Amino acid sequence: MEKPRPGLTEIFDRQALRGLMSLPTPVQRLLAGKPVVIDGQTLSADTQLMLKARALTKGTPIEEQPIPKARKELRYQQLLAGAGLPIGSVDEIEVGGRKARLYVPADAPEVGPLLVFFHGGGWIYGDLDSHDPACRFLAEQAGVRVLSVDYRLAPEHPFPAAYEDCVAAYEWVTQHAAELGADPERLAVGGDSAGGTLAATVALTAAERGWPLAFQLLIYPGTDMRGQTRSRELFGDHFILTHGFMDLAKESYLSDQSLLEDPMASPLLAEIPAGLAPAYVATAGFDPLRDEGEAYAQRLADAGVQVEVTRFRDQIHGFLHFVAVGRSSLAANREIAARLKAGLA
């Protein structure tokens, strides 16, 4: 797969970001200012400095831009933090009627584990390109194939379109594992944010339908569309994922308020079926979705599901995109990749 060469503006922005995020921690702390401490947690110096730099640009918030423009802008921002990571191979394929991208790590065996990945973006943003760096990183760091699936977006295609696309894609994978070089006994689903929600609901459906699934990788997932948690109150401003963004996502994705409690939109409200795959849930300390992600982990544990949850206390929503810059987010992402590797060992 060939990518277009970056323009001068992109090169400058990327180098500026990497330079800022690679400064010594004491220098970052000095430039960032007084540490941000909320709920007994201290925001990492590199993240605080990045947020300060973003604030100085005074750009129009994503949720206030026309959706087509915002999709391009968000993709650009996400690619800055990790574009160009090496990978064994990348192939464009079709899975269950949807476009997909298969990442194979350099030292992959002929047959090995596979993660089916669903991107985040509030069900209205994101695509194969926006999460290309994250998928490359997970594949190489965990030593597993990663299949990133493109699904229909709202508001053009509201709920349950994204859920149905992801279920169809996973069903296809279970039937064509050999074509992907995947061991059918070592299949996983995963995703970040809205993609984590989709991964959780696909896992629930897989258990109900008796499909093989070995592991769930849920990275700061949204699990309760009602949005009544303390973390939403604490962190709904100033930390990337804002109240405005979340309101737009909800209004665009759900066509009716009654759908707030649909278990395939709010998996925290779902019945937990027998045989649900083990899960690893990663949350961020300064994330509005923190509490509902951890509540879902507890719900799984109470139902007897094997689950591990890690709160990265100094991180914000979206840290998965920082796979090639900085220190704190990169360390968190390496731990997530290690858990993926262990979950599919």
Positions marked active-site = 193, 287, 317
Query: CB neighbours of 327 closer than 8 A, spacing ≥ 6?
Result: 21, 25, 44, 46
Tokens 């509201």 correspond to 158
- Token pair belonging to 160: 């349950």
* Partners of 37 in beta bridges: 42
DSSP conformation class of 86: -
299, with CB counted inside 10 A (0-12, 13-18, 19+), is middle
Q: Using alpha carbons, select from 158, 130, 148 the residue that is nearest to residue 189.
A: 148
Spatial distance between the Cα atoms of 193 and 199, rounded to a whole number of angstroms: 10
Q: 283 with 310: CB under 8 angstroms?
A: yes
Phi and psi angles of residue 280, each rounded to the nearest 5 degrees, phi first: -120, 125
Q: How far apart are CA 106 and CA 175, in angstroms?
A: 25
Which helix (H) or strand (E) segment holds residue 149: the answer is: strand 145-149
- Collapsed DSSP state (helix, strand, coil) of residue 269: helix
For β-strands 98-104 and 41-42, DSSP reports them as unpaired
How far are the Cα atoms of 129, 157, 166, 172, 209 from residue 206, in angstroms, in the given order? Answer: 27, 23, 11, 12, 5
Round to whole Å and give the CA distance between 200 and 268: 9
Is-contact 230 293, C-beta < 8 A? no
